[in-house]
Structure 1
């Protein structure tokens, strides 16, 4: 393994072990690790990757790891980064699935998760601050960002908000600059796997096809994943809703992408082979989407009209992160203990050079201590 590939594997394996808090937090940790510490690319280009990644199906933060791996070590780096990031969550989830099947209950980790959540808020806030300074290049983009923030807080689907912002911004900047450049069309390639066969028993092939379909069409959060899996598994009698809720809970409190839920469900339905094919199926489309999309991003930046689209989508992506931060803050900062942890995390994040990973660890320990002592 060459030096760059080894570095990619190490960085994303480490992030995969500590990436709690959902896509916004994962991307914030990547920004700190990739841009601040290692300077693999400019913050502007990192923003381009975020903006375009939000427009394709699949787990956005996992796809961002693939983009970063591609930039650092080529096509092989794409696969190494994605696998290294997914691997820790998959292994942890598989072990928990085994224990769940054997003992019928989940481990008690709530005190640690309680402390991680407010720490994650500070990490996301720092990333929004740094990325926002780069994304807001004009008054018009600032206004567009405010509009997307308002739309997101009102419940508008984030993909619709991003696409609308991109089209609106592209049209505005095209008219403003009176560009007459010929538009070079770049058509994103999206796949929709029409796998609707009735499932009578759970074979590894059928499990693979179910999760391949979900991975190919999934947009949104873990709650959207819950709806997809409910339709594919619960309504067909393959899983009870209680088992599905437990599986989603596992995905929420393990590090890495929430799609590691697939590992847990796959094990429940077909043992370790089921865990393997379910995990492969749900993540495979993301590898293909990023492999196809990545080469087009520099071309989009070099096109005058598509540059306006990209700038608008970028500022919209930061606005969506801000909306996520606001909602998470309302849900998390409801007791004095969580507020204390959030303040400590803000000081660590903004006033020191402590790694985001250590901020997560300190938050988890504080959560455990404050809940147990008070």
Structure 2
């Protein structure tokens, strides 16, 4: 086999600097093209920031990702905030996270309005009939992909199985499941550390040694990324103050029992208590938004996930759909359903993402000082294993409603099962993208609805 030619001298030098306008343009571009859920978004960032632009090295990128995965909230957004913060301090982190989310919020507001205003039309209903089984397949495929990377030994497989049973069978609260996994990770890190160490990450994705990066493996943390009361306490106090002021304004003007104030409180709690990324957050959102607050129905939740899968930005942006439908259905602004929906979407998005900014801007200095510390990575590894079980429990929840498994076997929706099986095959076996699969399933649903 021919040995690749050595890199040119210019390629062996890391970038000298990254200007703030250059970073701003990149984060906005990422927010507009980041389809494919958290895995796809992280892959996009890795390809662009590690391999092409070399703003950050492979090892530093993965270390930041590990911290984001152990946090509650959307890891892809948090990773963007983290890298933006490393490059350009607090303004860089805020801009990176905001531009990563903003295009998706605006697009989801538009799609949610179309869905509620015209979703009952036969054309739209037929497309949604095919998209819903695709959602089942997408969630199951996400669990499969994460499981193949995460469940590397019997200890992690048992944790995933226990998490699935705890959620799907015992209906235990989600935070208890994640807390239990973290405790098992701490214990496992001491008793069998080899089972709970992070997966080795050698070279870059291409298999070749990584070229030097602006933020390299041995680059010392910049001044703003070093632990200290000013670099940690001030961002934490500022974030908490902003959140309390925003909720207090809603409660003072509308009342604590108003739907918007309840949304602010619930989505703050969801952001603080849910771990493992978007698919892990959804069971908690379903338990409360659907079952407790009745802001939307299970069918609408599935439709919302389908819309979230077809828009750029983090998948947890489904909370914008939940907020829009809740604001519309609860008439939060009286006789203005569209404006009520917009208010619900903005409130849900703001309170969901605010904690992520605080976690990164306040906790980043500690992470920079604790690279390769098993005490941090062992609980993360166990939580990642538990998240596999949680995601599969979500797939079961969606399948139960889409396939009508609660009815007699003769009333099960066989055509929906066939569409879901085809979508799963396309996603797992042939590795097709989410958007083409959803498009094909939407067409299939339209044809099936026409033939019936």
Same structural fold, with TM-score higher than 0.5 when normalized by the shorter chain: yes
Bigger mean CA deviation after superposition, 267-276 or 37-46: 37-46
Matches within 5 A, 1:1-374: 2=21, 5-13=24-32, 29-35=37-43, 39=47, 48=66, 51-53=69-71, 56=72, 60=73, 63-71=74-82, 73-74=84-85, 75=93, 76-94=95-113, 99=117, 106-108=120-122, 109-154=124-169, 155-176=171-192, 209-218=261-270, 220-226=284-290, 229=293, 244-245=295-296, 252-254=302-304, 255-256=307-308, 257-266=318-327, 268-270=331-333, 271=336, 274-294=340-360, 295=364, 302-333=372-403, 334-374=412-452
Q: Kindly state the Cα deviation for residue 346 of structure 1 after the two structures are TM-superposed.
A: 2.6
Q: Where do 5+ consecutive residues of structure 1 fail to align?
A: 17-27, 179-183, 231-243
Q: List alignment gaps of at least 5 residues for structure 2.
A: 1-19, 51-57, 86-92, 195-226, 274-283, 309-317, 404-411
Distance 2:332 2:351 in 1: 22
**Deviation, structure 1 residue 11:** 4.7
Question: Given the superposition, is the C-alpha separation of residues 325 and 207 from structure 1 closer, same or farther in structure 2, using an over 3 Å criterion?
Answer: closer
1:372 shift after superposition: 1.8
Q: What is the rounded CA distance, in whole Å, between the counterparts of 2:371 and 2:401 in structure 1?
A: 37
Cα drift, residue 316 of structure 1 = 0.7
What is the CA distance between 1:177 and its match in structure 2? 5.1
Is the 1:222–1:258 Cα contact (8 Å) retained in structure 2? no
- Cα RMSD after superposing both structures: 4.1
Deviation at 1:369? 0.8
Alpha carbons of structure 1 residues 7 and 112: separation in structure 2 relative to 1, 3 Å? farther
CA contact (8 A) 1:144 1:315 kept: yes
> Contact conserved, 2:320 with 2:344, CA < 8 A, in 1?
no
In the TM superposition, what is the alpha-carbon distance from 1:200 to its structure 2 partner? 10
Deviation at 1:299, TM superposition (A): 6.0
How far, CA to CA, are the matches of 2:402 and 2:157 in structure 1? 28
1:240 equivalent in structure 2: none
Q: Which structure would you say has the larger Rg?
A: 2
Q: Answer yes or no: is the 8 Å Cα contact 2:80–2:97 preserved in 1.
A: yes
CA deviation vs aligned residue, 1:120-176 (integer Å, no higher than 9, x gap): 233333332332222123332222222222222222222211111111221232244
- For 2:179 and 2:190, locate their aligned partners in 1 and report how far apart those are by CA, in whole Å: 16
Q: Distance in 1 between matches of 2:249 and 2:352?
A: 23
Partners of 1:200 and 1:340 in 2: CA distance: 51
In terms of mean alpha carbon deviation, does 153-162 or 322-331 score higher? 322-331
**C-alpha separation in 2, matches of 1:107 and 1:299:** 56
Deviation at 1:81, TM superposition (A): 1.2
1:245 CA displacement: 4.4
2:199 alignment counterpart: none
| 1:364 to 1:64, Cα distance in 2 relative to 1, 3 A | farther
Local SS of the residue matching 2:152: coil
Decide which moves more: 80-89 or 300-309: 300-309
Return the offset for 1:209.
3.9
Shift of 1:371: 2.2
CA contact (8 A) 2:164 2:389 kept: yes
How far has the Cα of 1:352 moved from its partner?
A: 2.9
Paired with 2:187 and 2:24, the residues of 1 have a C-alpha distance of: 40
Query: Does the Cα contact within 8 Å between 2:254 and 2:261 map onto a contact in 1?
Result: no
Return the alpha-carbon distance in structure 2 between the equivalents of residues 315 and 280 of structure 1. Answer: 32
The structure-2 alpha-carbon separation of the partners of 1:251 and 1:328, relative to structure 1 and needing over 3 Å to count, comes to closer
Partner of 1:25: none
